[in-house]
Structure 1
């Protein structure tokens, strides 16, 4: 006990300096410090995982090697946000993540809206003859749905906490809402290049637009993250299910820029129209989404 008391007294000046820095520093500096701390804490874990996974630097990461790295990075994010909250005497509620039943209702609403809109998008593509539905692969869905749903909720929740929660909220302290939305969405899109460069570059405009739509979802949900979390998870869930079960094949009737470059919906007109459609629904019925 005496040791802990002495250690606290020894560290108190450093803690006070950090608090003063967080309070007075420009928001861009605070944001950069957050991401540096996140990556800095993750790198030792990543190095250990890469060694355990027998990764060779001259070879690209395989999917089975990439997944543990992504999961470890994402699981670390809430701890870094929690550290910021402790330093700034803030709370998760300030970042839009209120642990109550209301957020579960918003999550379900956003998830349902996302799945429905994506289903309509693919139905239109089937009707236009842009793609075919492989009914024979439906049997695979039951066995993969639980794990895909869990991953989708994890990815959607953590990315919303970081980008529409921490990042957007901090930027909004110094900038107008629209500027904070634009900057946070640019960072959201660009950071997707970390894992896949060749496939992500054509998606950058779509990812930026998705980020803007998710900011709108947070605003419509009284600055809570429930609807944004649901929409984001729905996108991950549906696309991952379609890809894993190989439910859709493209006919080549139109250019892949219509259906999605490299089979990525956000890299095509259809995916962008889907995001714009959800944005329109959020704008027209924003009063009904505020639950």
Structure 2
């Protein structure tokens, strides 16, 4: 295998020097993992100078470690680059964005809205059950904090959810399908999706890895339910982020400690517990019942 890749890279460099047309032809036939790795290297490589400028401009002292409040500007700058790098990958591999599930039509907007509603419904069902069982309590005094944060959090959720779906369920899953079966492509793309969350925070993310992996699998299923479009997966992803971020930011939920945090979610993160898995299973159940009408 090493010899195969060595020969490929040697041929790639030679083609780059001789003919752009031959280069494009070579990229179309390139090993999938080469295309995937190249995408992530270029994406991060383009972002690192921007991240350094942000850190310098905001006078961050990186020696003190990565702080949670530093995540948003870094995340936004990284994700703003993604469509441009994906456009380059699309052009080089001659793969239209529609193959990645990015289809600009009314049906996609309908699926996006449906996904948003389903995402929020699944969170509401899970937390309603926990409230009924006495595992948590609702802080009504903080409800006044919700109104001013709803729209900003929705916009962030739509942005983050859209980029992550385009990258992981769009580009990555589509590319992996070229060399692997649907199930293997789903397993690999969901694993990469989960593991890359460790980049931002390790302590709180590690217990969420199984939940994040399962979330990735459910979002792959959402793309199939939606006929290959990313609309439903995008809406679901954004709906979950919107609901959870709103609850956390407004501090609307307090846990009573009646059950283990592995049930409600380690570090108050639903995906790090049984509650998050139930939320995802509820979503799969909705797919099974209503997929014929989507």
Counterparts of 1:163 and 1:90 in 2: how far apart (Å)? 15
Q: Report the counterpart of residue 120 of structure 2 in structure 1.
A: 115
Q: Report the counterpart of residue 155 of structure 1 in structure 2.
A: 160
Match of 2:258 among 248, 253, 257: 253
Give me the TM-score of the superposition, normalised by structure 2. Answer: 0.92
Counterparts of 2:18 and 2:161 in 1: how far apart (Å)? 38
1:221 aligns with 2:207: no
Q: Residues 80-106 of structure 1: CA distance to partner in whole angstroms, max 9, x if unpaired?
A: 111111212222111001111110000
1:102 aligns with 2:122: no
C-alpha root-mean-square deviation of aligned residues, in Å? 1.3
Shift of 1:161: 0.1
Shift of 1:62: 2.6
1:236 aligns with 2:241: yes
Counterparts of 2:147 and 2:74 in 1: how far apart (Å)? 26
1:39 aligns with 2:63: no
Counterparts of 2:17 and 2:220 in 1: how far apart (Å)? 37
Shift of 1:20: 3.2
Counterparts of 1:142 and 1:18 in 2: how far apart (Å)? 53
Q: Residues 21-59 of structure 1: CA distance to partner in whole angstroms, max 9, x if unpaired?
A: 421211111111111111011111111111112121221
Asked whether the 8 Å contact 1:53–1:65 carries over to 2, the reply is: no
Counterparts of 1:48 and 1:18 in 2: how far apart (Å)? 33
Gaps of 5+ in 2: 1-15
Counterpart mapping for 1:270-285 below 5 A: 270-285=275-290
Measured at CA, do residues 89 and 23 of structure 1 come closer, stay the same or move farther in structure 2, by a change above 3 Å? closer
Number of residue pairs aligned between Structure 1 and Structure 2 = 279
Match of 2:91 among 86, 102, 106: 86
Counterpart mapping for 1:58-77 below 5 A: 58-77=63-82
Asked whether the 8 Å contact 1:130–1:253 carries over to 2, the reply is: yes
SS in 2 for 1:132: strand
Q: Report the counterpart of residue 7 of structure 1 in structure 2.
A: none
Shift of 1:17: 5.2
Give me the TM-score of the superposition, normalised by structure 1. Answer: 0.93
Measured at CA, do residues 141 and 18 of structure 1 come closer, stay the same or move farther in structure 2, by a change above 3 Å? farther
Shift of 1:13: 4.2
Shift of 1:239: 0.6
Counterparts of 1:71 and 1:170 in 2: how far apart (Å)? 25
Shift of 1:177: 0.5
Counterparts of 2:237 and 2:23 in 1: how far apart (Å)? 33
Gaps of 5+ in 1: 1-10
Asked whether the 8 Å contact 2:102–2:170 carries over to 1, the reply is: yes
1:210 aligns with 2:221: no
Counterparts of 2:23 and 2:132 in 1: how far apart (Å)? 58
Asked whether the 8 Å contact 1:55–1:61 carries over to 2, the reply is: no
Moved over 6 A (4+): none
Between stretches 13-22 and 207-216, larger displacement belongs to 13-22
Q: Residues 267-287 of structure 1: CA distance to partner in whole angstroms, max 9, x if unpaired?
A: 000111110111122133221
Match of 2:268 among 263, 271, 276: 263
Q: Report the counterpart of residue 165 of structure 1 in structure 2.
A: 170
